[in-house]
Amino acid sequence: MRLDINLATQPYEDSRRFWLQWGGALAALGVLSLALLYLTFNAWLGARKDRVLISQYEQQIAERDRERADAQALMNAPQNANTRDRSQFLNDLFYRKAFSWTRVFENLEDVMPPRVHVVSIHPELTNENDLAIKLVVAGDSRERALELVRKMEASKHFRQTQIQQESAEAANSGNQGDTVKFDISALYVPETPEQTAQGGTP
């Protein structure tokens, strides 16, 4: 009777076959892990830079707010009342001077649909020192008034355009065939001195 005895302390393993089968996969996983670590580190660096920039901007904004508050407090002091009122008066004059009737009507002519016309126009200065205009327009259809609003919104010279009121017009010979009237409000953006010197913009 013959007995086969394995005297080895560890069983035989085919390591070469194991590494041939799984070595490539392990190497690919290692490369992928390194790439992910690299991307994560770069993203962390980018986020850190963004946080630093945001912090700097917040500090600048806070500083400007403090300067504005200090300037406002100085202007609101009783001893500076005359200077404040004069400054407000001059600012109003400057803003009103920026309002050119000729330019406004030229800009409106560029966006005015057929069979719609301006009945009245009234400019005023808002609390934010923006030039606001209130238009009353009339025409023969509501769609044309809505087209006017869309064109004004697409124009560089009007912002926050909206219809405030709509009313029907009685048919008679004195209203040019108008059937509807609209009150429209918008903020007017006047041309800069450079644009005026170049002949204006469309």
pLDDT at 104 (0 to 100): 81
* Number of domains forming the structure of the chain: 1
Taking a C-beta distance cutoff of 8 angstroms, is the pair 188, 131 a contact?
yes
Chain-wide mean pLDDT for the chain? 77
152 is in which domain, residue-wise? 99-197
Whole-structure pTM over 0.75, yes or no? no
Any idea what the CATH number is for the domain that residue 153 is in? 3.30.70.2830
Tokens (6 digits) for 177: 């065939």
In a domain, 71, yes or no: no
Q: Tokens 């404040």 identify what position?
A: 84
Q: Which of the residue ranges 25-29, 48-52, 143-147, 178-182 would you say has the lowest mean pLDDT?
A: 25-29
Does residue 200 have a pLDDT over 50?
no
In a domain, 50, yes or no: no
Q: Tell me how far the alpha carbon of residue 150 is from its chain's centroid.
A: 18
Q: What is the mean pLDDT of residues 156-185?
A: 80
Q: What is the 3-state secondary structure (H, E, C) of 23-41?
A: HHHHHHHHHHHHHHHHHHH
Q: What is the mean pLDDT of residues 112-125?
A: 86
SS3 of 171, please? coil
In a domain, 31, yes or no: no
Bridge partner list, 187? 132, 159
In a domain, 159, yes or no: yes
Q: What are phi and psi of 10, to 5 degrees?
A: -125, 145
**pLDDT digits over 82-112, tens only?**
776 777 777 666 666 656 778 888 888 889 8
CA distance 174 to 177: 8
Q: What is the mean pLDDT of residues 138-149?
A: 87
In a domain, 134, yes or no: yes
Tokens (6 digits) for 42: 């770069």
